Every structure is written in C-alpha cells, then in structure tokens.
A and B are shown apart, each in its own frame.
Chain A
C-alpha cells in the first residue's frame, strides 16, 4: 500500500516579480516559478547571483509582494494573509540582523514575545539549549562571531518551532566548521518535521542536505528534481556539472 504523503507546506504557482529599471523597462527577477515543499523536506534553491533566489524567498516571507502568481505557506496566502503566513514561518537571510545591544537571552525572549508564545522566558531558555547558545547567553549580540551570530539568528527565527523554515544563503560568510554545524541544524529541523527552503550557490551544501533542488537561472526554474535525478537528467556525475549543463541549456 502506498504511504500517504502530507500536504505541501509551501505552494508556489506561476510566481513572477518585476522591478522597474532606472532607465525604463522592467527587470524580471522571478519568471513564472512554480514548486511545492512538503513537511520533513529540505528544498534547495540553487542558482548564481541574480538568479531570483532571494526575491522568491522574500515573497514567501511577505517582505516583497509578487507582481503576479500565487504563493502560500501552511495554506495561508502570502498576499492576503501576511500575518498568518509569518506566524508559521521562520526566516533568516544573509542581510537580516539582530539588535546589537541585546544579549542572546534577551534577544530570544523578545522574539518569543513577538511570536506570541505564552511563556517567552521558558521558550528562550529552551531555545538556548536547543541551539547550543547557553555558553554565551549573556553576551551582547554585537560581541558574537559571525558563526555564533548566525546560529542565534536561526534560533530567534525558529524559537516558535515553525512548520516552515526559510533560509537564504545562511552559510554565507561562515567558516567550514560553523557552516557544517549550521547544516546540521537544518537537518535536525527537517527531521523534526519542518519544511525547509534553503538557497545557496554552493553545490556541495545543496547535494549534502537537499532532498530536492530547484535550479534557477535568470528568474526561471530550469529543473526541479532530487540531486540524483538532476544527475541522471543531465547525464553527469557531479552536481556542479549538472548545474552547468542545465544553465547552458537555458
């Protein structure tokens, strides 16, 4: 008997985002993207700079409205129900930051309060343990290393155990050890049943943790498949070669 698959946590359909160019005309950042992500899945967005990864993720996080198309998170439309959408996702990007003059503990307590958790203090203490931050809980955010800071950002974004975690190039600027630890966090979130959307332009990361990968190029999704499926589709043995083959074909 076939195992019943859970409903997708994220559904993106014909998503398009245009930006006006300063000299006239428009820049199409996302061009008809469609994909879905199920709970307990790590979905990778793989593409070079300017491919539309960040814009897609910002639309899902309700930071940028789409020009056309639809996107929903946990059944909530990102345009018509932004508050409900935000309540069921955690979002971390390379550009997001935390108040520099708060301690880690205060930061987590604040974000627990913003997420509406009934006992913010207990939630913060639990997150300190869960993300291994207890050792520097009372240090100011501005005193943290890049790796520690990134870990705290993810802890703050995931303090309410959201069913959807959106991470935009989370390993950017991290050393090898910190990046490895972070990827382990992502796998743990996946194992606990969260749908994780993870953008990167680093092939090894994508092949290491992604269950499925969407290859983006110039705003379009060129392929969506498992890492093995992409290799088979392009007749290559390496994800980097598969990516290049798909991009050149486009």
Chain B
C-alpha cells in the first residue's frame, strides 16, 4: 500500500508544483532577493568597536579586508541594538591557556584576546569572526618571528590561539536558524505545503472513484489511511531535506547540527504526521477540493494559534518555529511524543470516519 501511495505521489503533478519546486526554490529566491536588495544599499556593514580595542591588533585593517567598516563607539551594544551598526564587538578579554601548549610560549597569552560580538546575520558574523581571527593570527606570527622562530612551523600553536566569537544568542534576530528552531521553520513550510497537497490528492481520489476501488479490496481502511499519511510525510520530509540542504549550501546555516537539534528531527517528523492527519480529517467530509483546501486553511490558522497560545512566542508570526525554538531535548521530546499521540488519535478517528460512503463520489444515494 505504501509503495502504491509513494508511486502515485511521485507522479502527481501537484507534488512537483506545490511541494518540490517551492522547496527547491524557496531558499535561493529568498537569498537572491536579499542579495538584490543588498546591492541597492551600501554593501559595507558597520561594526561598532569598543574604545579599548587593542591597538596592536590593527583590527581596522582586518575589517577592511573583509569589506567591513569599523565604527568606534563608547557603547557598541547600544549602537547595535539601535540599528546604527550591523555588528558589534562588545568587549575584549585576555585569552588564557596557550602556555599549556608549549611552555616556551607562556607569554603568548599576552598577545591574545577573546571577543564577544553580536551580528545581524550569520554571514556577517562569519566575516567579523574572520577579521578578528586574521588580526590575531598576524600579531601572533609577528611575535613568533621576532623570537627567531619560523611562524609556519607553529601553525598548530596558532590554531590553538584562535578563540571563537561568542555570539550573543538573545540579541540574534533569528536565533533558531542554526538551532532546533530552524527545523521548526522547515515544519512550518511543510505545514503550508501540506495544506494544499493532502486535500487535493485525497478529494481528487474520491471524485475520480479511486477511493471507491480501493475501499472494496480486503485492505482495511485504516491501512489505506496510514499508508497515505506515511507517504505524504515521507514526501514532505524529502521537501524539507531540500530546504535544509539549500540552507546549508547557500547560507551556511544547518538546522539540526547540535545534539538538541537532532532530537528535533523526530519531533518535526511526528509534527508533520500530526498535521497531515489533521488535514486528512478535514478532507474526508469535503465534497470538493476547494472546500477541503479552505477547511485546511482554517485548520492551519487554528493550529498556529493554538501553538502560539501554548508557548511564549519569541517571534511573532512563526508559531511552529516558536514551538520548536524551545531550548533543550526534553521539550522537543515532549513535543514529539505529543504530536505522535495526536497523529495516532486523529488517524484512528479518520479510519472511523472513512466509511464506505466517504469513499464514494459525493453524488448522493
């Protein structure tokens, strides 16, 4: 049964038109629009630097190499939050621990600093990180060369010296792209696509008499529904994988790369199952595609509202993303279990509702 459903979905035009194509184009189009808008503005982003930035780092030149412009500020954080600058180094502190690598270079710690910075987007953050790293590298190489050693032979040592920027998570406008919430965005997209796919396929089947032909075989109606739900969900996961792949390729953002994020994968899967089961439920009593789609639209809004009411939204307008932006595996496991239970209940209810009469074209007695 699952094979039949997958084969049919693979050859259904709506799957290509409403699901795979948008999944493939969604991220590139957004990126293209963003880049297009970016070219209309000054490409160079302003980075606020605190006044105590170590002069020997020559950070201005390193920023310049990354096409960033330094802007000295008494309060870089305030400048970032007010939108005057697109990124900011909040403060510097002395690095530690280099001396453990090689005793001879204990004093090397004098030449290293740790920066805490914030940035408007992950690409800008990457450029800022690279600028600070480059500046630190250069300084360290100079110092090693001044001691009569070959800086090239000490690359491992230099690597140890490069301390990462600790981004201010709470200040990031889209904090969940790289975390579990990134998968929430994918789920949101899946939900929007399913809203059309599930009713269109199901009601078309009923109108064309396919449901009737299947309903007179010994296969149980529950089996038919479960196979259909699984097939829909697998196709949606494929679309989701396309979106995630695009995010990774084009934005270097990869939802689900941390351990808690991996826990979000089954949560998204069960979430998609739940949404599909809910859409199937509203499709069963519908007499035509338009009716089914409009009911599914209402359901999507209702589900979004419920999700929004259930959690404290961090981002208005992204209820599912907000739901999955929960930090930590426990919440995600709970969400996963809840969605699975909901999907099972809805499927059982749908199997009860999917009587022979519901398999017939709606032409009356």
Could you tell me which A residues sit within 8 Å of B by CB distance? 17, 19, 27, 29, 55, 58, 61-65, 83-84, 86-87, 89, 91, 93, 95-102, 106, 110-111, 113-116, 153, 156-157
Least CB separation from A93: chain B residue: B212
Stretch of B6-14, B49-57, B268-276 with 4 or more beta carbons under 8 angstroms from chain A: B6-14
Cβ A63 vs Cβ B359 within 8 A: yes
Cβ A61 vs Cβ B11 within 8 A: no
How far does the alpha carbon of A27 sit from the alpha carbon of B8 in the complex, in Å? 38
> Is residue B4 within 8 Å, beta carbon to beta carbon, of the partner chain?
yes
16 A-B pairs besides A58-B360, A61-B216, A63-B356 with CB distance below 8 A are A19-B364, A63-B359, A64-B356, A64-B357, A86-B216, A96-B213, A97-B208, A97-B212, A98-B210, A99-B210, A100-B208, A102-B8, A110-B4, A113-B4, A114-B1, A157-B216
Cβ A95 vs Cβ B360 within 8 A: yes
Cβ A98 vs Cβ B356 within 8 A: no
Stretch of B138-146, B217-225, B237-245, B321-329 with 4 or more beta carbons under 8 angstroms from chain A: B217-225
Cβ B209 vs Cβ A86 within 8 A: no
Give the contact-size bracket for chain B: 20 to 34
- B208, B215, B216 — most chain A CB neighbours (10 Å): B216
Cβ B365 vs Cβ A27 within 8 A: yes
How far does the alpha carbon of A177 sit from the alpha carbon of B353 in the complex, in Å? 41
> Is residue B82 within 8 Å, beta carbon to beta carbon, of the partner chain?
no
**A99 cross-chain contacts in B, Cβ below 8 A:** 4, 8, 205, 210
- B1, B3, B218, B361 — most chain A CB neighbours (10 Å): B218
Cβ A95 vs Cβ B1 within 8 A: no
**B205 cross-chain contacts in A, Cβ below 8 A:** 99
> Is residue B341 within 8 Å, beta carbon to beta carbon, of the partner chain?
no
- A84, A89, A96, A100 — most chain B CB neighbours (10 Å): A96
Cβ B218 vs Cβ A83 within 8 A: yes
Cβ A63 vs Cβ B212 within 8 A: yes
How close is B203's CB to chain A, nearest CB, in angstroms?
13
How close is B287's CB to chain A, nearest CB, in angstroms?
14
